[in-house]
Amino acid sequence: MKLYYSPGACSLASHITLREVGGPFELERADIGAKTTESGKDFRAINPKGQVPTLELENGDVLTEGTAIMQFVADSAGASALAPPAGTLERARLQEMLNYVASEVHKSYSPFFNPTLGDEAKAAQKEVVNAKLSWLENTLSDGRSFLTGEAFSPADAYLFTVTNWSSIAGHDLSAFPRIEALRARVAERPAVQAALAAEGLAG
pTM of model > 0.95: yes
173 in any annotated domain = yes
Q: How confident is the model at residue 202 (pLDDT cuts 50, 70, 90)?
A: confident
203 in any annotated domain = no
23 in any annotated domain = yes
Mean pLDDT of the chain: 97
Distance CA 72, CA 128 (A): 31
Q: Give, as one character, the DSSP assignment of residue 113.
A: G
- Name the CA radius of gyration of the chain, rounded: 17
Cβ proximity of 13 and 5 under 8 Å: no
**Same domain, yes or no, for 144 and 182?**
yes
Range(s) of the domain holding residue 22: 2-81+191-198
Mean pLDDT of 66-92: 97
Length of the chain counted residue by residue = 203
pLDDT in tens, 100-159: 999 999 999 999 999 999 999 999 999 999 999 999 999 999 999 999 999 999 999 999
